Amino acid sequence: MQTHRTAPSTRIQEDAVQFGIFTVSDITQDPTTGRTPTEAERIQATIAIAKHAEEVGLDVFALGEHHNPPFWSSSPTTTLAYIAGQTSTLQLSTATTLITTNDPVKIAEDYAMLQHVSGGRADLMLGRGNTGPVYPWFGKDIRQGLPIAVESYELLHRLWREDVVDWEGKFRTPLQGFTSTPRPLDGVPPFVWHGSIRTPEIAEQAAYYGDGFFANHIFWPASHTQRMIALYRQRFEHHGHGSAAQAIVGLGGQVFMRRNSQDAVRDFRPYFDNAPVYGHGPSLEEFTQQTPLTVGSPQEVIDRTLGFRDYVGDYQRQLYLVDHAGLPLKTVLEQLDLLGEVVAVLRTEFAKDRPAEVPDAPTHASLVAAKYGDEAPRQATPNANRGDNLTVGASPYQDGPAPAGSAFGPAATRAGGAR
């Protein structure tokens, strides 16, 4: 079929809304054949899916993080860096990076590196995950999940904005004169989305820092998502980052399409009925009525997606889950072909009557422009050291301490920058 690829710099930088897909990296038996793919097959299939997402004109590919079977994605940055080398326009993200069980120092280093090797085509979504046993595996207490998330992000935020960090907290060893390397590309940290399904404290955290808030929006009714995003918008405005309409919002979603609805329902039903996350519960019809899951024709997906704005307002990122529950690679690639057609229509429809105050989706280029204007961005160049790798003075870099970071959007040039 004909794809919808456009020039890299224009499509990614000018679209008000970014459209893409996310995967949770599950390895699930295909209920129609009884076959379960190997880890190697599923990893290669995911890479093929990401590459085809770019080919059909999508903007974003986001990869989950898990540390237990039946999931394979224990090291998202490794996979995303490889995909970066296989693509040219695709924005690479996560769904989600575990802020509670990963060391924030390692997150700072890994995602700054991904920024560099991808040419700025990288951001990340932070979350607490949904696997309780992961906490003790990494030496953490699940009962402290929220305090860990708050403290860890406070440190991560500083590591990307200060050349030398002295820090002491409750949940990791202190830092003294520490410099995270490499420094963020152009002196601008990767954009951060805080992802949550049901936790208002995470919406508050996103609002406090002026970051994006991503509502997964795949299991809960519209009324719940509406309340979570309304809270985030209200608190975003309260913390002085701009009006509620200027908050940066992303949504998840699930779709399965065929050219006509009857074929879509028939083909997807065995996967839905046997899926580990929702199989053997509500019927497919009940679940599609009560949640944003859409199983039907491309036009039905268009209509349903356009309806999201009725309860969350204009937003910046829409990601779909299309490769779960044991769906074979051939079927997923067919879904992407249809999704490319759907997104071409959605781009036009989302642009209609979009208020001028609503910001476009954040990109590295837009964040650099917001921070530096017409000035050249920072290019971190280290001073010589004595061979002991210790910082002497205010900064180990020739240009001195990095300028204070700034929030995305109207607060970007506000005195004092982002918190």
The secondary structure of residue 382, as a DSSP letter, is B
Q: With b meaning 16 or more CB within 10 Å and e meaning fewer, what string describes 70-101?
A: ebbbeebbebbbebbeebebbbbbbbbbbbbb
| Two tokens, residue 294 | 């859409």
For 154-169, write each residue's pLDDT tens digit. Answer: 999 999 999 999 999 9
**Amino acid 172: pLDDT:** 92
Mean pLDDT to the nearest integer, 145-151: 87
The per-residue pLDDT for 4 is 35
Position 9 scores a pLDDT of: 34
DSSP characters for 153-179?
A: HHHHHHHTT-SSEEE--SSS--EEEE-
Token pair for 220? 């809960």
Indicate the average pLDDT of the chain: 88
pLDDT 10s digits, 274-327: 988 777 789 999 999 999 999 999 999 999 999 999 999 999 999 999 999 999
Nearest to 291 by CA among 221, 198, 227: 221
- With CA atoms as reference, report the closest residue to 320 among 302, 382, 328, 329: 302
Tell me the longest C-alpha to C-alpha distance in the chain.
71
Closest CA relative to residue 52, chosen from 340, 251, 318, 346: 340
Residue 406 scores a pLDDT above 60:
no
CB of 56 within 8 A of CB of 344? no
Instruction: Output the pTM of the full model.
Output: 0.90
- Spatial CA neighbour of 355 closest among 319, 309, 318, 317: 309
Q: What is the pLDDT of residue 389?
A: 63
Both tokens of residue 245? 């309409």
The 10s digit of each residue's pLDDT in 364-404 is 999 999 999 999 999 999 888 766 666 656 788 888 655 54
Q: Would residue 393 be called left, alpha or beta, if left means φ above 0 and alpha means ψ between -120 and 50 degrees?
A: left
